[in-house]
Structures are given as C-alpha cells and as structure tokens.
Amino acid sequence: MTVHFPFDNSYARLGAAFSRPTTPTPVAAPLLLKLNRPLALELGLDPDDLNSAEGAEILAGNHVPPGAEPIAAAYAGHQFGHFVPQLGDGRAILLGEVIDRQDRRRDIQLKGSGPTAFSRNGDGRAALGPVLREYLVSEAMASLGLPTTRALAAVATGEPVYREKLLPGAVLARVASSHVRVGTFQFFAARGNDAAIARLADHVIERHYREAATAPNPYRTLFECVCERQAVLVARWMQVGFVHGVMNTDNMSIAGETIDYGPCAFLDTYDPATVFSSIDRTGRYAYANQPVVARWNLARLAECLLPLLDPDEKKAVETAEATLASFMEAFEAAHLDGFRAKIGLETSRTEDGALIHDLLALMAREKADFTSTFRGLGKAAESEEAEAVVRALFDDPIRFDQWAIRWRARLKFESRSPAERRRAMDAVNPAVIPRNHRVEKALAAAMAGDLAPFERLNEALARPFEDRPDFAEYAGLPPKHEMPYRTFCGT
Ligand code: AMP
Ligand code: MG
C-alpha cells in the first residue's frame, strides 16, 4: 500500500533563493499518537491509509511519499524587536502542497523532522509536550472559527530530545494555507533582492489575495488586504481571550492565519496586561498590546514592499503610511463589532463602545473570568435569574449590577427575543476554551504515557459553543493559583 498525496508544490518551484531541498532525518521508532481524520479527508488523503505503519513513517519523515519535494524555507525576522537576517525553517520541513477537496492549496509541513540549513545551533527536533500543545490549541482555534494552521498528526519519534532535561521527541504534521511570513519578505529585503520580493508578492497574491491581481495597483491592494486580515485576526484573538505570546515578524503569517503555537495561552481572569511567556519580560506581546505589535510588524512588511508600491520612493512611503494609518481603525471596528456581538447587541449605537469598555475595565478590576463572564451573559440575556451566576464571577458583584442596569437599558433598543439573543450570544461566546490547567494536565498525563486526557480535552474543544453536560468540567474555572501561569517556548 502507498499513501497517496495529491502534491503540487508551487513554493518549491519559486526557485533556489526561496528554500533549500531538505530530506527529513529518519527517527528511531515512529508511533502515530494522533491522527486528525476529518482534516485528512478535507485534504483528499485517506485516513485509513495514513493510520498505518507506513502512514506513521511518512508523518514522522522516515519515508518521503511520491510527489513530495521536501524543502526548508528561508526567512528572516524581528525577534522581540531585534532583526535577525536569517532564521528560516530550522526544525520544520515542507513536504509539499496539496489542493484540498474545496480546491484550496494547503501546505503539509513536518515540524521537528530534523536539522536543516537553517538550524543554526538547534537540533531540528521538537519535544512531545509542545507538539501535543500545538495540536490541542491549533485545533481548538479552528473549532472556535479562527483562521489558523491545523494539526494533521502527532507522531512520537521514539528518540529523546535534549532540552533543560531529556524529553520524549515528537513530530507534528502541520497544515497551513501557506507558510509565507512577514519575515519571508524581510529575508529578501535585507539582501536588496527586489526581484525576489516581487516574485514572492505575486505568489502571495495568486495564493491568498486574488482580488489584488486585477486592482489598479496590485501590490498596494495586497498590502491593504494583509493589513485588513491581520486587524480582523487580532480582534478575533482578543474576543476569545487569546494571547499569542511571540508575535515576532517571522511568526506572522501573510495569509492572516494564527501560526506558531509556542508560548500562547488563553486568559482565565481578564487582565489586559497578561503575559504568559516566560521570555517576554517587558510585556511586548501582552494581551492588550497585540494590535500595536501587529501594526508594528506590518510597518516592517511595508518597508519590504516599498520598491513595489511606487517607483517614486516618497510616494511609496505615503501609500504605505496611509494604509498603516487605517490599520487601527480596521482593528477598532472589528474589535467593537465582535464585542457588540459578545454582549448580545445586533444594532449599533454610539454608547456601545463605552458600555463594552466599562465592562472590560470592571472585569479587570474585579478579576472576572473572561470566558465565563461572556458565556454567562448569554444566559442572563435570556433570563434575569441567570444573572446571579455572572455577578458571582466579580470580586465586588455590586459593581457588576450597576453595569448590568446599563446593559439591560441598552438591550431595550434591540428587537430580538431573549431566546434568539441567547442563541446568537452562545454562537460567539464559547463555553469551552483550552484552559491552561486542563492543557497542562493533559500534557502531563501524555508524558507519563496516558493519552486519554489529551483525547478527551481534544473532544471537549471540538464543539466549544455547546453546553455539553458530559464535558462540564472543561468549562469550569481553574483552581485559584498563587503563581501566575507561565509558558515556555519549549523549543
Ligand atoms: P520560533 O521561536 O519557534 O518561532 O523559532 C524561531 C527560529 O528558531 C526559527 O527559525 C526556528 O526554525 C528556529 N528553531 C527553533 N527551535 C529549533 C530547534 N530545536 N532546532 C533548530 N531550529 C530551531
Ligand atoms: Mg516561528
């Protein structure tokens, strides 16, 4: 039997400047821990074929399937504000691209599949914990309806990786609409290679922004589209309490997908200054700073695109600045719309911004749980008695009551029935998110050889907008922690 992948590798065809042909390094004992069967089907792959010894060999990188042209992509990037002219796929190898059942081009990449020309001092490997973490969280994001890379499979390698201590190794098979990053453009800009920038921009337009192809200035439209998608993406992150944690320019997908699930995590208690990553000492990538950082990253992209925007440099700068100036407006609009829906508003009134702002400020001050507050508001929108559950989330519930009076007054301007409003709110306010304490428990069990908690959490996260009594424990609040939650890049 041979697992068939319908490969068509447009990125490999871009040429030698963009990537290096790289064969994955075989691992000792590939064992398929988790296969995403629905995603395999979407990709036009046979999940039964993949769920085999040969499938595990392929997904671990031991066997390169026919039609694959494995490459490591070149890219640069600003890491915490410092430019590194060469990063690249140091521990990921793009097997190739398939055209999925809905005619979308999707990358299949193996993360942790051995050293590449871009590994620098790294081993090219990934540890089991971070691989399963990315699996859980990226799939949770997809189920929440956010643009994201996906997880096709997690394979144990049967080999240790050397970090602060010895850890079991794994490979993640990751799927993305592409892996082009802001940092990919920066790689060529740093080398003054304008021809490569144009070629890359054309590739991105063809792949992600066809509407730009026929615009009067395709590259200008491309930049506008990228900014728009990022604005919406960051707004949506914030609407589910997501903190990316390492928004370096090499971790910002040009397609507007969430990518690079290293130190990311979700808020429990709402605090806009939340930083989870142990290496983010200045709060550069804090929850509330995400739009500011996205804009900063897009300014770096604009610098790369200047030669394409206009032959006259002054005009090119003006064009880029005008678009960047509208980024915050686009973000604010998406943010306001999203939170309007979260508090059950269908129409818009001038006081809505203040109503939302005041709720969030109150949640921060009174240490309310982000997810439970909004989910609870949906119930309270249907029946006033249910308001008791929400107010109990606030340290000082009386302050919530004062806000709720304003909220109910505002709802009087709306025409939906309470039941309809509840349904609409439940569709945007998840009951279940990957809560940190749950993720940690599932990973700890997996490290000890028990995948059952990982499987169950994964199942709980698959239908986040439903109240499922069987999975009620995943909607519950974490135990009170003395120490703030911290994540580690775990590379
Ligand atoms: P990240 O923090 O995951 O975005 O990675 C930043 C850069 O470091 C990328 O170029 C990665 O490919 C590279 N990198 C991270 N971990 C490793 C590793 N274990 N081996 C080789 N390269 C790595
Ligand atoms: Mg990265």
- At residue 120, the 3 state secondary structure works out as coil
Two structure tokens written together for 121: 């001092």
Task: Give CA–CA dist 473/438, Å, rounded.
Answer: 9
Place of tokens 């930049």: 223
Return the pLDDT at 77.
98
pLDDT tens for each residue of 215-227: 999 999 999 999 9
pLDDT tens for each residue of 171-194: 999 999 999 999 999 999 999 999
User: Under a CB-based contact definition with an 8 Å cutoff, are residues 86 and 187 in contact?
Assistant: yes
Q: How do residues 73-119 score in pLDDT, each as one tens digit?
A: 999 999 999 999 999 999 999 999 999 999 999 999 999 999 999 99
The answer to whether 313 touches 321, Cβ cutoff 8 Å, is no
Question: Quick check: 418 pLDDT over 70?
Answer: yes
Q: Tell me the mean pLDDT in the region 385-403.
A: 98
Nearest to 268, CA basis, from 367, 408, 152 = 367
Mind listing the pLDDT tens digit for each residue in 5-62?
A: 999 999 999 999 999 999 999 999 999 999 999 999 999 999 999 999 999 999 999 9
Residue 1 has pLDDT above 80, yes or no: no
Residue 332 has pLDDT above 60, yes or no: yes
Looking at the CA of 491, which ligand is closest? 1
C-alpha closest to that of 76 among 156, 192, 199, 162? 192
Please work out whether the CB of residue 251 comes within 6 Å of at least one atom of ligand 1. yes
Q: How many angstroms separate the alpha carbon of residue 89 from the centre of ligand 2? A: 8
pLDDT band at 488 (very low <50, low <70, confident <90, very high): confident
Burial 376-406 (b: 16+ CB within 10 A, else e): bbbbbbbeeeebeebbebbeebeebeebbee
Q: Which of 89, 107, 250, 271 is catalytic?
A: 250
Mean pLDDT of the chain: 97
Instruction: Tokens for 118, please give them.
Output: 């871009």
Residue of minimum CA distance from atom 23 in ligand 1 = 90
* CA 64 to centroid of ligand 1, rounded, Å: 22
Residues 6+ apart with CB under 8 A from 101: 41, 42, 43, 44
Which of these, 335, 409, 418, lies nearest to 379 by C-alpha position?
Answer: 418
At residue 134, the pLDDT reads: 98
Using most ligand atoms within 8 A of CB, pick from 71, 91, 186, 487 the residue to mutate for ligand 1: 91
**pLDDT score for 482:** 65
